Structure 1
Amino acid sequence: MTENQNINLELLLQSLEDDFDPQERMRILEILKKTNPIDDSLLGAKMVLEKNNWDYEVLKYTFSKTEERIETIARATKKTNNSINYLKYAAVLLPIGFVLGYFIHFTLTHNQSIDQFYSKEEGLPHYMGTENANFENLMVLYRDNKMKAAFGVSEEILIKKPQNDTAIYFHAVIGYELKNFKVAKEGYTKITQKKESAFYYDAVYRLGFTLKKLNEEKAAYQQFSTISKDQNNPYNQKAKEILECFD
């Protein structure tokens, strides 16, 4: 493919396949970034990609869910194979309103549904003794909902105790409350790599919400899926309910 070749929807959809050359896919996406499609379907696909940091997995997921609905309609109406193929083709050649309408509805509905399962971390009880004075100050600020001040204290503690699970975990918790989801992801991920940590299960669970906030749909789904299969995880049942929000 040459650098100035026009991108059409068929080529874009081919690039979403798992066995497609990753470098070729990147070239296609880069060209699409620089073009202004006049085809409604291609423009809709581009807008979905732009809203999700050009994560092709999100676009692939959107189209796959649309095709699943088309399959359901075809079975319910007893369509022939030729009709099914036509409907699949029609599902791919979606007008921009349908592409964005479905995707925006999906995003808003499921973000709201998933948020109902999220509960704010209660924090730790007050420590005794001067050695843990910084942690006690952190918890006072956290409980008083003074998150910006709490975040500053958590950073100071983390600098002094970079390997401390409590410091790492609450830095992530406060980051999430401040909508600094990149900080939250970094901290939770560190804890999830330490199964012996007292915060392990909480971090595993909260990482799922963080990934969702970062629009990492596939990773969020996989995170909750893993939790749902872990009988030792106290969030096992909640994860099963959350997974229904992705359907």
Structure 2
Amino acid sequence: MDSNNKIQNNQETQELIDAYLLEDLDPKARADFEERMKLFPDFRTLVEEQKAIIRGVEEHTLKNSFEDFHSEIVEEPKKKWQSPSWLALAASVLILISVSIWAIFSSGNSSQKVFAANFKPDPGLPTTMSTSSNYDFYYGMVNYKRKEYSEAISRWETLYAANPENDTVIYFLGVANLANGNARQAKKYLQSAKEKPESAFYEDAQYYLALALLKENKIEEAKQALAESTSPASIVLLKEIKSL
């Protein structure tokens, strides 16, 4: 490895740091990464900065979890669900839910099957903390990548209120809401993103909008959302929708 190489804080570097911190590197890549940290102090600093951000998110989440747990113990020292009658009722409810889910997926409600087979959250953007102006957005991106969608949405909604024309915020609010199970709210943001053909997220917004509509069983509207899309993923999805 050339020790004279200058470390650049670009998208590729940030994606590599994200993968390392989220333990998404294979053993060889991880060993190379750690060797790179030893050789390049500037690179090690970038890693430590991002690690501190993620640790702050984890500590905040853990603190809230402990507070909620402590509150439950103080207010309910002996929960109702500990009784045999409550356990029997809970078991009955679970059986009913399981039967209902089986009935849905074995019936003609195939739009849900198509949604489940095709929906995967956007992988997100590199969490670069380069300026104070985008700090809140990228802090929310850390939440998003850790599947803490409610926290990400809360941060991004504040940014959206301040600048409702920001196509990046609009798009990721749509995807985060869809990943969080709120198809109706996701549809609102994704429809707005679809109205910005100049945006880098235009094609992806069409794809996720169609999925949000499928989630609501709006098959014809989902077809319309993809009618002008040229991305490979959208073309495949449209073909599946047309077969419903």
Range of TM-score over shorter length: 0.5 to 0.7
The answer on whether the counterparts of 2:125 and 2:141 sit within 8 Å (CA) in structure 1 is: yes
Cα 1:236–1:153 shift into 2, 3 Å: closer
Aligned 1:1-247 pairs, distance under 5 A = 105-107=107-109, 109-127=110-128, 128-224=130-226, 226-227=227-228, 230=229, 232-246=230-244
Unaligned residue ranges in structure 2 (runs of 5+):
1-102
Match for 2:123: what amino acid? E
Residue 146 of structure 1 deviates from its aligned partner by 1.1
Equivalent position SS for 2:196: coil
Q: Deviations over 1:17-54 (max 9, x none)?
A: xxxxxxxxxxxxxxxxxxxxxxxxxxxxxxxxxxxxxx
In 2 relative to 1, CA 200–219 (structure 1 residues): closer, same or farther, beyond 3 Å? same
3-state secondary structure, aligned to 1:115: helix
Aligned residues: CA RMSD: 2.3
Q: Contact between 1:117 and 1:242, CA under 8 Å: does it hold in 2? A: no
TM-score by length of 2: 0.52
Could you tell me how far apart the structure 1 residues matched to 2:174 and 2:125 are? 14
Cα drift, residue 245 of structure 1: 4.1
Q: For structure 1, list consecutive stretches of 5 or more residues without a partner in the other structure.
A: 1-100
SS at match of 1:106: coil
The letter of the residue matching 1:179 is G
Cα distance in 2, alignment partners of residues 206 and 145 from structure 1: 17
In the TM superposition, structure 1's runs of 4+ consecutive aligned residues that sit over 6 Å from their partners are 101-104
CA shift in 2, pair 1:240/1:217, >3 Å: closer
Number of corresponding residues: 141
C-alpha distance after superposition, 1:71-112 (max 9, x if no partner): xxxxxxxxxxxxxxxxxxxxxxxxxxxxxx9997110x3421
Where 1:116 maps in the other structure, the secondary structure is: helix
**How many Å separate the matches in 1 of 2:191 and 2:234?**
19
Please state whether the residue corresponding to 2:164 is helix, strand or coil: coil
Amino acid at match of 1:235: A
